[in-house]
Amino acid sequence: MAVGTGDVRASAWRGGFGRLWSAAVLSSFGDALRTAALPLLAATLTDRPLLIAAVTACGYLPWIVFGLLGGAVADRVDQRRAMWTVDAVRGVLVAAFALAVALGHASIGLLIALAFALTTLQTLFDNASTALLPALVGPTELGGANARLMTGQRIAGGLLGAPAVPLLLAAEAAAPFAADAVTFLLAATLIASLRTAPPERAPRPAGSTLRREIAEGLRALIRDRALRGLCAATALCNIGMGALIATLVLLVTGWLDAGNTGYALAMTAYTVGSLGGGFAGGAVVARVGRVRAVLLAGVAQIAALLVMGLVRHQAALCLALAVFGFMGMVWNVNTTTLMQQRTPAELLGRVSSAFRTLGVAGAPLGALLGGVVATAWGLNTPVLLAAAFFVLSVLALIPVPRADVLVVDPHDDSTTAHVAR
């Protein structure tokens, strides 16, 4: 690596990107605490499964209802200001909820309202974050920056956050929520300290409305063959992911008869594989290019899913999940980076919201389909269903390389030069 490039990367890490990374990791840690604690708290307030499930469902619903709107708003406002304001509001909301829990005033209705409000605010925060990142790092650093962000979030949420919940609950039922509120407020402070100029945007045409701006973003997505293929592939694989996630515990404890210990080992293998993808996925990109790395990741995940659904052995499952997690991180990092590279800055919030909205909408559909096929044809069939959706996802990606010429850049794992649309 050239000395000059190393200096740029170090500077970016110490400056704005380092603060954004720290804020994202803190928020992921707090999110893991809250996400794990909410169902446990709900189970102490009611024994009605439908009400308990409603708490989780309200974590998805706002993305379907407000996801595109959040992207349009993110393209209108100063993203840095929107992010720290949203985190400050979320911190206050969760702190108030923690106080209600401590005073014995928690209720299922309050849990549902909290989950809905936090995710509604998240639709603006996440789209603004995706749009802000290219302003903090150079185009050739986007891949590495996305990898660092996602890896840090996985460590904070998967390895540190969830295991801390039992310890906090042992101290006080409100403790996980109080800790989550603190992480939101710290993240808001870090983001507010960023020194980025407000984005330069052309004046909006007279009569412009949020509906028209959302439509403009969707048209930009549909017209770009590469973006259209990436979005379709992401939506299809998320249906498969929904089927897998919803029924993995049944596969491990039922079909494999591996019990809770086997399930814990399986989830650990997936997490370790994901972290490996975050740290080493850049080597895959450097060798084959960013677009082909996404294709390779999809094919490898299909193979891993087939092993999970056809080989009835715990060790095979753990190995397949580790590969699946590794390649899943390669997929996520590079689809996000390609989207950021190909999308005009003034449309990035709207395009990223379309990706997220379709992904979130696909997950509950996949979960429902997984439950249906598991009931009808056996506990291993949802994994095979997931493999089928991943095949469709890879087929949707086939036109994408034709829209790009891959250019290996010595200062980044690889970049994509746009020569056709």
Domain ranges of the chain: 9-193, 224-412
**For 172-313, where are the alpha helices, taking DSSP H only?**
175-192, 210-223, 225-250, 259-288, 290-310
- The CATH H-level (homologous superfamily) assignment of domain 9-193 is MFS general substrate transporter like domains (1.20.1250.20)
Among the four given CATH numbers 1.10.3720.10, 1.20.1260.10, 1.20.1250.20, 3.30.70.141, the one describing domain 224-412: 1.20.1250.20
| Spatial distance between the Cα atoms of 329 and 271, rounded to a whole number of angstroms | 10
Burial status of residue 378 (CB atoms within 10 A of its CB: 0-12, 13-18, 19 or more): middle
| Spatial distance between the Cα atoms of 397 and 92, rounded to a whole number of angstroms | 42
Query: Which residue ranges of the chain lie beneath pLDDT 50?
Result: 1-11, 404-421
CB 67 within 8 A of CB 122: no
| Spatial distance between the Cα atoms of 88 and 186, rounded to a whole number of angstroms | 9
Q: What is the dihedral of CA 78, 84, 87, 92, to 10 degrees?
A: -120
Give buried/exposed letters for 345-358 (b at 16+ CB in 10 A, else e).
ebbbbbbbbbbbbb
Three-state DSSP state, 247? helix
- What's the pLDDT at 204? 60
Domain 9-193 and domain 224-412, same fold? Reply is yes
Query: How many CB atoms within 10 Å of residue 201?
Result: 11
Residue type present at position 217: G
- What's the pLDDT at 224? 85
Geometric angle at alpha carbon 23, from 148 and 60, rounded to 5°:
90
Please give the biggest Cα pair distance in the chain. Answer: 64
Q: Would you mind telling me the total number of residues written for the chain in this entry?
A: 421
DSSP one-letter string for 17-29: HHHHHHHHHHHHH
| Spatial distance between the Cα atoms of 169 and 166, rounded to a whole number of angstroms | 5
| Spatial distance between the Cα atoms of 338 and 287, rounded to a whole number of angstroms | 17
- What's the pLDDT at 221? 83
| Spatial distance between the Cα atoms of 235 and 147, rounded to a whole number of angstroms | 21
Q: Which residues pair with 417 in a beta bridge?
A: 405
Q: Which residues pair with 404 in a beta bridge?
A: 418
The single residue listed with the structure tokens 């840090």 is 152
CA 235 to each of CA 84, 316, 402: distance values in angstroms, whole numbers, following the listed order: 29, 28, 20
Element (H, E) at 417: strand 415-418
Q: Which residues pair with 416 in a beta bridge?
A: 406
Q: Which residues pair with 418 in a beta bridge?
A: 404
Listed as own residue / partner, the contacts of 307-310 with beta carbons closer than 8 Å and 24 or more positions apart are: 308/251, 308/380, 308/383, 309/251, 309/380, 309/381, 309/383, 309/384, 309/387, 310/380, 310/384
CB 159 within 8 A of CB 271: yes
Each residue's pLDDT tens digit, 163-203: 777 778 777 888 889 999 999 999 999 999 887 766 665 55
- What's the pLDDT at 15? 56
Chain-centroid distance, C-alpha 289 = 22
Supply the DSSP symbol for 206: T
CA 250 to each of CA 72, 245, 264, 282, 294: distance values in angstroms, whole numbers, following the listed order: 40, 10, 13, 34, 29
Q: What is the dihedral of CA 381, 387, 389, 395, to 10 degrees?
A: -150
- What's the pLDDT at 14? 55
CB 145 within 8 A of CB 11: no
